[in-house]
Structure 1
């Protein structure tokens, strides 16, 4: 098979990387198209992926112009490479191109608060793949699996933590530290939403329990600049694994921390609309906050537990026992599409065959 994978965000690189490697090992040809958002291109290059650059990602009123430009680019790629399929995460251009060519489009999504995608993406997609905890019903095109996007790259079959990253920032295994993340709040679905109000106050409160390390999409107040860390983006998951706690506005990073067994507090007025956050809360790995006072109180409660890391790994083990290896499911789905769609729809437990033996 020849498949175009459209990458539009750093998290998409992680989601598809193991799928790409496995599919290439099986003899399939993968063509990557990528937009420039945050560290997307750097991640692709660090993993050794060749890609076709599309454009710098935008937001606001410029987004529609970007969509038109990328639609035209993707149509050219499809005409040049003649793929069997175009796939992506909520990929508008994959869906659009499939409607004017014979190429099939499969889009993955785990985010419910995307009104724009509901309007301009999903109606044009051939198949929409979501976690079983996804809150929306997207109709006949939707199929569900028992897992999360993060388990495509953080399932124990796909990820082994490397403690070397700790040495890079002057830490050792067992040292208490808290990762704090601030986001830019510039996405179309961020309008009218908020996260942490008093950044300095939060960091000072957390600092009583260990070293605070900040990652941020935007600039920081002068008082916090010394807390910002500079590690290669592909090493962030190693750091999350060894962290004592994650507190931040970044939803994906919060889910990644939780899946790795690191307790997480997501501070965002958007998160109550996300099924994955609610699901992770059922494993006592993630909590949603909408105000600074609750955030600090919950963080203090967690950090005062001397067995917090052991508890997190126990809860992670419960989660892994019940969820699937998402990359294995993706490979099976794409290789056997569309015949296997009926199997998944006919038997909601079918995807559970992708549970596997593993060691934590």
Structure 2
């Protein structure tokens, strides 16, 4: 997962000052992230409809403070739910939230930060959830870090969200346990990347890249790349 480059415990520390931008007092809050689905790989995909978003927000607002981060323009009735957080603090907001519901890669980020996460998968023209075919979304789902639900089934999204909210403290603890386990079995992608580039440069500068020598150098200290997770 590329998100491990910047969200592993080795590099990310949450900044509590983000809370001054989030108007919830000491209440728990949830974040909903909406995608514009405007990229070329999003062609023919359908995300949550505005009608579904309105229903989702109205239902969840009975249980928890709700904020929306959206790539697309929202109707006036949803504008009061806008998450007014500086972009550089968005991961800190995700860290402190009790629930994340989203259509974008931010769902993977929220899950890795220890926030119970529902990945709302856009569906293709056949009605098939797209995220089941997308490597890192599927990985988070199969490892129990998040749950994939189709954008066409807002009732299921609401049901799962309410279940999480009603057990939010337990869910948060369990999510952190799953994340710690995942981190403890993952390499530090940034360290590995820097090492790989250095090895590649050194070998190429000598005339060729020796794959056998490359693998041998990895085997000498296989644990050097694993994340040092002090929270585990």
User: Which residue in the other structure is 1:100 paired with?
Assistant: none
Structure 2 Cα separation of the partners of residues 232 and 166 of structure 1? 11
Q: Is the 8 A contact 2:9 2:228 kept in 1?
A: no
Residues 221-264 of structure 1 deviation map (CA, whole Å, 9 limit, x = unaligned): 111011012211110000101111110111x1000001111111
How far 1:150 sits from its partner (Å)? 0.5
Query: Cα gap change, 1:231/1:187 in structure 2, threshold over 3 Å: closer, same or farther?
Result: same
Q: Which runs of structure 1 show a deviation greater than 4 angstroms over 4 or more consecutive aligned residues?
A: 344-348
Structure 1: stretches of 5+ with no match in the other structure: 1-147
Alpha carbon RMSD of aligned pairs, Å? 2.4
Query: Quick one: which of 160, 163, 172 aligns to 1:298?
Result: 160
Per-residue Cα deviation, 1:48-105 (whole angstroms, up to 9, x for no partner): xxxxxxxxxxxxxxxxxxxxxxxxxxxxxxxxxxxxxxxxxxxxxxxxxxxxxxxxxx
How many correspondences in the alignment? 211
Does residue 187 in structure 1 map to residue 39 in structure 2?
yes
* CA pair 327-341 structure 1, distance change in 2 beyond 3 A: farther
What SS class does the counterpart of residue 153 from structure 1 fall into? helix
Determine which of 5, 11, 14 is the counterpart of 1:161.
Answer: 14
Q: Which runs of 5+ in 2 are unaligned?
A: 124-129
3-state SS in 2 of match to 1:267: strand
Matches within 5 A, 1:1-360: 148-171=1-24, 175-197=27-49, 198-250=52-104, 252-268=105-121, 269=123, 270-290=130-150, 291-305=153-167, 306-337=169-200, 339=209, 343=214, 353-360=224-231
Superposed displacement of residue 211, structure 1? 0.7
CA shift for structure 1 position 346: 11
Q: Which has the higher strand share?
A: 1
For 1:237 and 1:283, locate their aligned partners in 2 and report how far apart those are by CA, in whole Å: 21
TM-score scaled by length of structure 1: 0.55
Report how far residue 208 of structure 1 moved: 2.0
TM-score, normalised by the number of residues in structure 2:
0.83
Deviation of 1:278 (Å) = 2.1
Q: Which has the higher contact order (CA 8 A, sep 6+)?
A: 2
Q: Give the CA deviation at 1:318.
A: 0.7
